[in-house]
Amino acid sequence: MEPNLPFDPVQRSEEAEKAVMKGRMRLYHKFRAAPYYGGIATADAVGCSFLCAYCWNYGRNENPSRFGTFHSPDEVAGNLLRIARKRSYNLFRITGSEPVLGGESFAHFLEVIKIIFREEPGSRFILETNGLMLGLNPELGEKLQFENLLVRIALKGTDPLSFEKITGAKRGFFSSTLLALKNLERVKVRVWPALMEDLFTEAETKNLKDMLRESGVRAELELESLEPYPVVLENMRRRGIFPRNLKP
């Protein structure tokens, strides 16, 4: 069931990790080829610290223990490698969830990418993350110093209020996601922020860009577009969030 909003995302991360991890294994519900980034081998996992209104995987992340099958890092890497070799891809990712919920899920992720980099040295892995735990635990960044690892931090708002409305998490944690960018840049991990631009005015987006620049973040902000699945639009309507190009 959906928790009372707003919630503590650290507590939710801990609960999600208990639900989706079993030793070295994590719950995944699909492995597939995806067209993003020009073609990428993709593992769809479950379990997140947020419940973002625009998340296409909302239902599975709301009750993660009810979905998927447990896979070891070797199995995850093996499935991704088979997809990549069949499609001639050199890009990999885990998506639909938060890869870094805590220590166990982080260790699982590291095992996956180490296997892939060993088997396909010229490949690249994109860590798609909300940045929460990487902001709260700066020491994790030092373990992400892989030449072929790219980190994309999806910022869920342009300020604490919009962050809370979109994620369902308490607004005070907005700063933690921004801090992840600084933590990773400090240890020279290749990282950049992304924002769902359809949900914000040009002025709000500019203010976020200014905030990032003033805080010392060097990476450019990527602007992404909303995929208006019916379930996404319904979840957003319930939160009182309406894309700029859609009327309430």
The encoded tokens of residue 206 equal 């500019």
Q: What are phi and psi of 7, to 5 degrees?
A: -120, 170
Is 21 contained in some domain?
A: yes
Cα–Cα distance between 126 and 91 in angstroms, integer? 7
Is there a contact between 169 and 3 (Cβ–Cβ < 8 Å)? Answer: no
Is 77 contained in some domain?
A: yes
Question: Does residue 3 surpass a pLDDT of 80?
Answer: no
157 alpha carbon, distance to own chain's centre:
14
The encoded tokens of residue 184 equal 């990773």
Angle at alpha carbon of residue 93, lines to 90 and 98, rounded to 5°: 170
* Cross-strand pairs, 190: 150
pLDDT-derived band at 248 (thresholds 50, 70, 90) equals very low
Is there a contact between 167 and 156 (Cβ–Cβ < 8 Å)? Answer: yes
* CA-wise closest residue to 120 among 95, 96, 91, 146: 91
- Report the pLDDT averaged over residues 52-75: 94
Per the structure, how many domains does the chain have? 1
Cα–Cα distance between 203 and 41 in angstroms, integer? 36
pLDDT tens, residue by residue, 68-104: 999 999 999 999 999 999 999 999 999 999 999 999 9
Question: Does residue 247 surpass a pLDDT of 60?
Answer: no
Question: Does residue 200 surpass a pLDDT of 50?
Answer: yes
- Report the pLDDT averaged over residues 44-59: 94
Mean pLDDT of the chain: 95
Question: Does residue 233 surpass a pLDDT of 70?
Answer: yes
Is 248 contained in some domain?
A: no
Q: What's 151's domain CATH number?
A: 3.20.20.70
123 versus 242: which is more confidently predicted? 123
Domain that holds residue 109: 9-239
AA letter at 147 = E
Is 137 contained in some domain?
A: yes
Question: Does residue 1 surpass a pLDDT of 60?
Answer: no
Is there a contact between 219 and 195 (Cβ–Cβ < 8 Å)? Answer: no
User: What is the phi-psi region of residue 168: left when phi exceeds 0, alpha when psi lies from -120 to 50, beta otherwise?
Assistant: left
Question: Does residue 65 surpass a pLDDT of 50?
Answer: yes
Question: Does residue 171 surpass a pLDDT of 60?
Answer: yes
pLDDT tens, residue by residue, 96-142: 999 999 999 999 999 999 999 999 999 999 999 999 999 999 999 99
* CA-wise closest residue to 147 among 99, 192, 93, 189: 189
| Predicted pLDDT of residue 246 | 59
Whether the upstream peptide bond of residue 248 has omega within 30° of 0, thus cis, is: no
